[in-house]
Structure 1
Amino acid sequence: MGTLRLGTFIDRYTFRYEREYPHPPERLWEALTDAKHMDAWLMPKNRIEARLGGRFHFTFGQEDDPREWSGTVAEFTPPEVVDFAYDNGGHMRFELHPIEGGTRLYFIQSFSPDFRQDDMSHKAGGDLPGGPDTPWRPGFMAGFLIGLIDLDAYVAGHGPTVKDQEEMVKRTHAGVHGSDWVTLTEAYRKLVRKTIPGGVSKADQ
């Protein structure tokens, strides 16, 4: 993978990823706002009404995992900003800034202070090194960064596909993880523990 920027905590409940892409904002925009494209690099089963006030639904598409992230498009300014506001509080926001030779993308995840993250068995708790009152599960954070890396390849026209994403999700739910995910998960565990002290991770138990 080489050297990767993991991202930055803005506050206890907000995290920002930053990446540069050799593509203009207009090419990235469709991949960030059209469900058929997001299915290939983010989650394999999504529905989006790509307009201000439109509804969205993000899911893993697994029978054994009914979790769904739903909400309303709170900001929609092509090809600059799209903000997905969760029904249960918080946002998933993409900001695109043109730079020489491409685009700088800021991907910002924020949660309300009363949000509680569930693990893969749909139970509260699990690997939360920032403490039980924080939403930062290292495996999820690693998954989002891998998705942003895949976004580059997808927009360039050489993968991944929706089928690739479906197979990856099946492996993840079966507890089979790639080496990149394992490495990044540990890196995020350390970052959360360092930035938001006082939490206990599964790795410490």
Structure 2
Amino acid sequence: MNESLETADGRQVLRIERRLPHPPEKVWPAVTEPGHLREWFPAEVRLDPRVGGRMTFSFGSAAEDAPESVGRVDAYDPPRLFAFSWEEELFRIELHPDGPGCLLVFSHVFDDRAGAASFASGWQICLDTLDGLLDGRATDHSPRPSARLHESYVERFGLADGVVETTDDGWRVRFERQLTRPAEAVWAALGGTTPQDGTGTLGGPPPAGFTSAEFPAGPVTALDAPSLLEYAWEAAGAPAGRIRWQLAEGTGHGARLLLEQTGPAGTAGDGATALTAWRARIEPLARQLAEEADRRP
């Protein structure tokens, strides 16, 4: 299986290629008919099989009152091409003859680059299930996402990197990272409780997990557990900028970490230092959370 992530027209394009030992004619019903799609696709699908036809997607129960989202058929050319939209995202399934079997090319176009590892790991599991169904093997119709697989895609697609920007009054470093555990678990892993020594309270020092030795921490200036902690960092004993940790909604696989640090003009080297320091802090945290997620029953 080959996977790639590219940017085209400002959007992210995830592409997965998989060779199947079955001809396109056998695979086509499995990727287009609702009765087969429900066995491997992550939503219950109903569709009008023609270009421009309406599609609906629902999760959980197939009851009429289950929440639905909508899309439409953009291409329908049996047994070669099926393309459709789902809300604002685009999907394309191509089947190319390949000896006695076929090459399945799956693509997903979306905007949320930080969510790409979640999408890639999820689709890999879905396509594994499809492969098993075509082979007649028993499969788990609701396989559990693998947090370690998610982290492998983070590394493969370069999603662990932060960015440094020049601002009107200095510099700003930003990281956006999809994690594999909910905000409460991330907060606890960072030490974001309120211990008796006063750390993690407004006006007090931040818990050590939120800090980096390269940037001495001042007092906590904003706190909303388990989603926000902000504090001043100091240089030469005076406030130099702020460091802000925020845990927001992500792809549904866990919390989205948004980490930002600002610094003053004339200290551009500190931006590069911050990129290195915070990646070194986030990576062990992400691995720890992934291990916890995969251990959970």
Map of 2:133 onto structure 1: 154
Percent identity for Structure 1 against Structure 2: 30
**Which residue of 2 is the match for residue 183 of structure 1?**
148
Query: Structure with the greater relative contact order (CA < 8 A, sep ≥ 6): 1 or 2?
Result: 1
1:82 maps onto 2:82 in alignment: yes
* Contact 1:136/1:192 (8 A) holds in 2: no
Radius of gyration: which is bigger? 2
More helix by share: 1
Q: Quote the residue 1:96 is aligned against.
A: 95
Cα–Cα, structure 1 residues 69 and 22, in superposed 2: closer, same or farther, change >3 Å? farther
TM-score normalised by structure 1 residue count:
0.69
| 8 Å contact kept, 1:150–1:159 | no
5+ residue gaps, structure 2? 164-174, 180-281, 286-297
CA distance in 2 between counterparts of 1:35 and 1:29 reads 12
CA distance in 2 between counterparts of 1:197 and 1:145 reads 26
Deviation of 1:99 after TM superposition, in Å, equals 0.6
Unmatched 5+ residue regions in structure 1?
Answer: 114-132, 169-176
Would the aligned equivalents of 2:114 and 2:177 in 1 still touch at CA under 8 Å? no
Per-residue deviation, residues 114-148 of structure 1 (Å, max 9, x unmatched): xxxxxxxxxxxxxxxxxxx5362423321111111
Q: Secondary structure at the match of 1:40?
A: coil
Q: Does 1:28 align with 2:16?
A: no
Deviations 1:49-79 (A, max 9, x none): 222221112233259xx76442100100000
**8 Å CA contact 1:44, 1:165 repeated in 2:** no
Corresponding residue for residue 120 of structure 2: 141
Corresponding residue for 1:52? Answer: 51
Does residue 193 (structure 1) correspond to residue 158 (structure 2)? The answer is yes
Deviation per CA, 1:62-111: give whole Å up to 9, x if none.
Answer: 59xx764421001000000000123x323111011001131001100002
Greater share of residues in strand: 2
- Residues 30 and 9 from structure 1, CA distance in 2 versus in 1: closer, same or farther, beyond 3 angstroms? same
1:9 aligns to 2:5 (yes or no): yes
Whole-angstrom CA distance in 2 between matches of 1:10 and 1:41:
25
Offset at residue 30 of structure 1 (A): 0.3
Aligned twin of 1:130: none
Equivalence for 1:109:
108
1:118 is aligned to none
Q: What is the letter of the counterpart of residue 18 of structure 2?
A: R
Offset of residue 42 of structure 1: 1.2
Q: Is the 8 A contact 1:43 1:58 kept in 2?
A: no
Per-residue displacement from partner, 1:138-183 (whole Å, max 9, x unpaired)?
23321111111111111122233xxx425x4xxxxxxxx46xx223
